[in-house]
Amino acid sequence: MITKITKFVDRNEAGQLLATKLKLYANRSDVIVLGLPRGGVPVAFEVAKALHLPLDICLVRKLGVPGHKELAMGAIASDGVRVLNYDIVSDLGISSRKIDEVAAKELRELQRRDRAYRGDRPLPNLQDRTVILVDDGIATGASIRAAIAVLRAEQPQSIIVAIPVVPSSTCEELKAEIDRVVYLMMPEPFYAIAFWYDYFPQTTDEEVRKLLSIKTIGL
């Protein structure tokens, strides 16, 4: 039983611990693990490896506030999906034109990453499957909501969000949108995702490609 976690060593440890709360889904042919690049992929890899499940990605891009890129005013995903944090947009007086400019830039990066990570690999079939959507943490929830919107269009049997750390307010909002939320820590005050890791470097494109190339089933 996992108790009294105060910080994670790194994303790998967070994924290994998260997998212990998802044992119900191990070795099931109807379940797939999707990581949110880039930082969610090392966590998702550990989950997929421990549970002997296939691993893939769900691409979204955060829309950072101009001048404060780490603060998310929303997120975009493929197929034109856009999710906005209207409280932040309203409080900061961000115009529709500025949102469109940021979204256009991030769409180009999303398309680049899709080519870099997936290459010629086909998209996974998610219809009637249980999807475990994994990130290294959730703050505002904008990116994960964009991913959920994309996944719903694929008609999965159920969507489970699995994250190491999440604020209580965001967790409650997500519970109303999907089938299950699995987490390890719900600290208050939350601060930032990086605060809850001892080692939290930026995950590289090469690391994502490498992890996606490693077999996680039949081990």
What pLDDT score does 2 carry? Answer: 44
- Stretch 109-129: mean pLDDT: 88
* Residues contacting 43, CB < 8 A, separation 6+: 11, 12, 14, 15, 18, 35, 134, 135, 136, 164
Cα distance from N-terminal residue to C-terminal residue, the chain: 25
Q: Is 127 exposed, middle or buried (0-12, 13-18, 19+ CB in 10 A)?
A: exposed
d(CA 178, CA 160): 7
Question: 70-74, 113-117, 215-219 — which one is most confidently predicted on average?
Answer: 113-117
pTM of the model: 0.88
C-alpha closest to that of 37 among 146, 156, 176: 146
Looking at domain 11-59+127-213, which of 3.40.630.10, 1.10.260.40, 3.40.50.2020, 3.30.420.40 is its CATH number? 3.40.50.2020
DSSP letter assigned to residue 147: H
Burial of 98 (0-12, 13-18, 19+ CB in 10 A): middle
Q: Is pLDDT of 219 > 70?
A: no
Q: Are 143 and 135 in contact (CB under 8 A)?
A: yes
Task: Quote the pLDDT of residue 83.
Answer: 85
CA–CA dist 163, 140 (Å, integer) = 13
Task: Provide the pLDDT for residue 1.
Answer: 41
- Measured between alpha carbons, how far is 122 from 182 in angstroms, rounded to an integer? 28
| Domains of the chain, residue spans | 11-59+127-213, 62-116
pLDDT in tens, 26-56: 999 999 999 999 999 999 999 999 999 999 9
